[in-house]
Structure 1
Amino acid sequence: MMLRSMFAENYRSLRSIRMDLAGVNLFIGENGVGKSNLYRALQLVQAAVRGHLAREIAEEGGMASAIWSGPQRVGKPARIRLDAELIDEERAITFRYRIDTVDLDRAVADAFAGARLQVPEPGQFAEFSLVFPDFPHRAFSPRELSDGQMRFLALAAALLSYRRPRFIALNEPETSLHPDMLPALAAMVASAAGESQIWIVTHSERLAELVRQQCGVRPRRVIRKDGATWIDGMRLTGAVEEEDE
């Protein structure tokens, strides 16, 4: 197994850097230029794969120490993005590990009309809040959010986690969600489908159509046939007629 490339953005002194790697990689530079941050970025990816990312961030001094240390754009909080690509030459398999909160920011903005998720530096308890465009100087805590808003954020946590499970099952995920949130939900499903197998059971024709558009799959309609549950158009072999076309 060999590390083939790495990418880091907004991590310590690494504003945005991507490089291809070889068997031997030699770096030279003066003290304080950020040489150590190159391998620290890889340590974070390794910690994420092992499920120890939160501990690794805490040992670094929290997000305040890990985030980009240079000037930031006004109104656009920095988000850490790390990416490592490895190749198993014996089996000709490529693995990619990524830590990225950009998808989460986009999903929240799309679902809540431009709102921004605000996560302070962790203390004794993890906290978060939402800042809406109509109230830019007011952060709404979880207890002030609606059931639908909280449900969407829970779905986002499951679908956009940096360490997704191989199989994710969603039972009527549209429940309590405002119809305007469904496009963002379908986009999150499409994003998660790149790494996980997704199983969705829904009443919503609109959500089914949005997922079809985002993922390119046809919904399988569940029906009653001779008093038993069945899939419309499915043969006894398990093949669906549409799949034969």
Structure 2
Amino acid sequence: MLQTLAISHYRSLHGLVVPMQRLNLVTGDNGSGKSSLYRALRLLAETAQGGVAAALAREGGLGSALWAGPEEIDRRMRAGEVPVQGTARRHPVSLKLGFAAEAFGYAIDLGLPVPGMSMFDREPQIKTECIWAGPFARSANLLVERRGPRVRRRAGRGWDMLEEPLSAFDSLFTQLADPQRMPEVMQLRDYIRCWRFHDHFRTDMAAPARQPCLAIRTPVLANDGHDLAAAWQTIVEIGDVDGLTGAVDDAFPGAQVAIDAYDGRLSLTFQQPGLLRPLAATELSDGTLRYLLLIAALYTPRPPPLLVLNEPETSLHPDLLPALARLLIAASVRSQVWVVSHASHLIAALQEAPACHAIRLHKEMSQTRVLGQGLLDAPAWYWPAR
């Protein structure tokens, strides 16, 4: 389970350290930084997939993703005595992401290459990467340390230096995932790759989830939901079928979901009380289809260590949100859950659960802060030096 998430110089997250628990609810006004925090978590996940540079490119490049304010906002700027303005830069351009889990911690520092050396001189380079044991990094608990192209690994009381240099544009997860030489890298890479994000379920009339799918066992629902019927039937055969049917009845009392098979393909149907025939997926409302997709995602027979949902209330009627909250609370028993929401009904229902850890964000001088978090309230965190 993740215990701490840390971000520095990413959009409005100028320096944020957030404690995490089993069920995490991120709220705040529009523009408070909820989406930036979610996207930073996705960037962290991209490091294990070898796509962090490409993910930043999709955001407009490192220059677009960096904090747009001055390097430091001093007391006089906060008091309005002097205008907010830039000064001579004292530190190099840097975007830092990191987390601490129960077994290992990880941090990455991204910057710019030396100008004039290549036509790709705006492509982000990895300046440092570190893996450690414990709640935060310090010299005594570092296990793997990368500075530029050079990597060293802890060996007893000393260090082993790797002879071959690393590419500046790829994470050590893609270059050193060796179970014999670098077991920590391999274990942490596999852990991050198991994180699961659900935020792009389509429910329009041409949505893939409305179409029949191939009859192939599907323990993990696809991001676009095109294999909904196969994922549902997989849960029925090898998963928590009682929880699955209970979740449907909780949201739609008396309704039942069935899967029909024809010529190697599966189709989902939805039977409601009072109707003489079941409804096909093409006939379902956007809200009903989205809720069934959420049920299939959260009752997966292969629960991930971290399950992240961005505004799951989209297209749902407010009356469905208490049932959605119960669905998320049940999922937090199997996985660590991170929910970003601004729906008051869902927030209120989730906060009734004793396990809910609410993280309310707000802006101070355009910097995202956790409401009520003082200097001594944030978890201990130290960024490894370049």
| TM-score scaled by length of structure 2 | 0.36
Residues 149-176 of structure 1: CA deviation (Å, up to 9, x unaligned): 1111111111111111111111111111
Compute the displacement of 1:122 (Å).
6.6
Among 255, 267, 272, the residue aligned to 1:132? 272
Q: Match of 1:235?
A: 374
Q: Match of 1:157?
A: 296
Q: Match of 1:199?
A: 338
Compute the displacement of 1:181 (Å).
1.2
| 1:190–1:215 contact (8 Å) kept in structure 2 | no
Q: Match of 2:246?
A: 106
Compute the displacement of 1:113 (Å).
3.0
| 2:243–2:299 contact (8 Å) kept in structure 1 | yes
| 1:158–1:164 contact (8 Å) kept in structure 2 | no
CA distance in 1, matches of 2:353, 2:291: 18
CA distance in 2, matches of 1:227, 1:234: 16
Q: Match of 1:167?
A: 306
Question: Which structure 2 segments of 5+ residues have no match?
Answer: 1-215, 219-234, 380-386
Among 318, 322, 327, the residue aligned to 1:179? 318
Matched, 1:212 2:212: no
CA distance in 2, matches of 1:161, 1:215: 24
Q: Match of 1:148?
A: 287
Q: Match of 2:217?
A: 54
Structure 1 pair 110–198 and aligned structure 2 pair: CA distance change class (3 A): same
CA distance in 2, matches of 1:134, 1:220: 43
Q: Over the residues paired in the alignment, what is the CA RMSD in angstroms?
A: 2.4
Structure 1 pair 106–122 and aligned structure 2 pair: CA distance change class (3 A): farther
For 1:32-71, what aligned pairs fall within 5 Å after superposition? 54=217
Q: Match of 2:363?
A: 224
Compute the displacement of 1:238 (Å).
5.4
CA distance in 2, matches of 1:80, 1:236: 49
| 1:117–1:129 contact (8 Å) kept in structure 2 | yes
Residues 56-114 of structure 1: CA deviation (Å, up to 9, x unaligned): xxxxxxxxxxxxxxxxxxxxxxx9687xxxxxxxxxxxxxxxx2111111111121232
Compute the displacement of 1:239 (Å).
2.9
**SS at the partner of 1:165?**
coil
CA distance in 2, matches of 1:215, 1:129: 36
CA distance in 2, matches of 1:236, 1:214: 27
| 1:110–1:184 contact (8 Å) kept in structure 2 | yes
Pair member with larger Rg: 2
Structure 1 pair 238–121 and aligned structure 2 pair: CA distance change class (3 A): farther
Give the partner amino acid of 2:217: A
CA distance in 1, matches of 2:282, 2:236: 27
Matched, 1:115 2:255: yes
| 2:322–2:345 contact (8 Å) kept in structure 1 | no
Q: Match of 1:67?
A: none
Matched positions, count: 148
Question: Which structure 1 segments of 5+ residues have no match?
Answer: 1-52, 56-78, 83-98, 241-245
Higher relative contact order (CA 8 A, sep 6+): 2
Compute the displacement of 1:196 (Å).
0.6
CA distance in 1, matches of 2:345, 2:373: 23
Q: Match of 1:47?
A: none
